[in-house]
């Protein structure tokens, strides 16, 4: 068994074992923005994730340091891929937590599956 196979299996096991810790999040794909700054999003998709209140300094996608307030881990790669149309999470997308809070996507992370090119698990830091 190679390392990639072990990581894939480990993430699937972690997804099953952490079901009681996971909460619902709503993922909305950014569609457009008008001149007034109003943004349009696609219909929301409910996804399960490990949501952790965690203040941490992260380097944003634009390269600046910023304080995150929430760390989200999506362990079901197939569900996230379906929600994003196979294009992954983007900085302009919106994630709403179960308690109604949302925040700017500051940083993304996770191992990429070399076989599919998709993340095995996705980490997102919200500000």
Q: What is the 3-state secondary structure (H, E, C) of the chain?
A: CCHHHHHHHHHHHHHHHCCCCCEEEEEECEEEECCCCCEEECCCEEEEEEEEEEEEEEECCCCCEEEEEEEEEECCHHHHHHHCCCCCCCCCCEEEECCCCECCEEEEECCECCCCCCECCEEEEEC
**Interval 30-70: pLDDT, tens:** 999 887 888 999 999 999 999 999 899 999 988 999 999 99
pLDDT of residue 16: 92
Which class for 7: exposed (0-12), middle (13-18), buried (19 or more C-beta within 10 A)?
middle
In the structure, what pLDDT confidence band is assigned to residue 7 with cuts at 50, 70 and 90?
Answer: confident
CATH number of 3-126: 2.40.10
Kindly report the pTM of this predicted structure. Answer: 0.89
In the structure, what pLDDT confidence band is assigned to residue 113 with cuts at 50, 70 and 90?
Answer: confident
């Amino acid at each position: 068994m190679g390392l990639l196979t072990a990581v894939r299996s480990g993430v699937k096991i972690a997804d099953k074992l952490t079901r009681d810790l996971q909460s619902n999040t709503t993922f909305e794909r950014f569609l457009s923005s008008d001149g007034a700054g109003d943004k349009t999003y696609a219909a929301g998709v409910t996804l399960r994730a490990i949501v952790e209140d965690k203040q941490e300094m992260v380097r944003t996608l634009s390269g600046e340091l910023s304080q995150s307030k929430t760390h989200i881990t999506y362990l079901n790669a197939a569900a996230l891929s379906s929600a994003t149309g196979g294009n992954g999470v983007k900085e302009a997308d919106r994630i709403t937590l179960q308690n109604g809070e949302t925040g700017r996507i500051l940083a993304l992370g996770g191992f990429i599956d070399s076989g599919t090119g998709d993340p095995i698990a996705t980490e997102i830091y919200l500000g």
